[in-house]
């Protein structure tokens, strides 16, 4: 747990998301998506949503006879640009992992998440700004 009295923040440097493969169903585009966010209301969303920290997607597109299928795998962003710039900074220790499947035959999909982060102490102004932006978004 982060110590709010000491103005501790969580500095996320890298996120590794892994999702299981969707089902291969003839004539369908099946997906399994996972999103790590700082709000429970985000759900499985893309990077266009401000509360999204990282997202992962696996898609299989199959023709009508299932004779041919193409698989796509994407994870963004995995890490910041190998510099001191963090991927995400949080003043709370509340992070949420959402996993969602689309067009699968049944309940399919698992997501795993590994977060590489460090604790830091912020000055009062920075801590207030981070906390305000998290609660207002």
In a domain, 68, yes or no: yes
Comparing 129 with 82, which gets the higher pLDDT? Answer: 129
pLDDT one-digit tens code per residue, 43-91:
788 888 888 899 999 999 998 876 788 888 887 776 655 567 888 999 9
What is the rounded average pLDDT of the residues 84-112? 88
pLDDT for position 78? 65
Q: State the total domains in the chain.
A: 1
Convert 93-112 to b/e letters by CB count within 10 Å (16 or more is b). eebebbbbbbebeeebbebe
Asked whether the whole model's pTM tops 0.85, one would answer no
d(CA 55, CA 52): 7
In a domain, 43, yes or no: yes
In a domain, 65, yes or no: yes
In a domain, 3, yes or no: no
In a domain, 37, yes or no: yes
Range of the domain at 36: 8-136
In a domain, 63, yes or no: yes
- SS3 call for 125: helix
In a domain, 2, yes or no: no
């Amino acid at each position: 747990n982060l110590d709010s009295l000491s103005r501790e923040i969580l500095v996320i440097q890298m996120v590794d998301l892994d999702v299981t493969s969707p089902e291969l169903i003839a004539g369908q585009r099946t997906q399994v998506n996972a999103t790590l966010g700082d709000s429970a209301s985000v759900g499985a969303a893309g990077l266009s949503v401000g509360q999204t920290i990282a997202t992962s997607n696996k898609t299989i597109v199959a023709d009508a006879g299932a004779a041919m299928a193409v698989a796509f795998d994407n994870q963004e962003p995995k890490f910041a640009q190998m510099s001191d710039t963090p991927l995400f900074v949080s003043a709370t220790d509340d992070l949420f992992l959402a996993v969602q499947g689309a067009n699968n035959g049944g309940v399919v999909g698992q997501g795993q998440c590994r977060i590489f982060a460090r604790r830091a102490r912020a000055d009062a102004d920075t801590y207030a700004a981070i906390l305000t932006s998290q609660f207002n978004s």
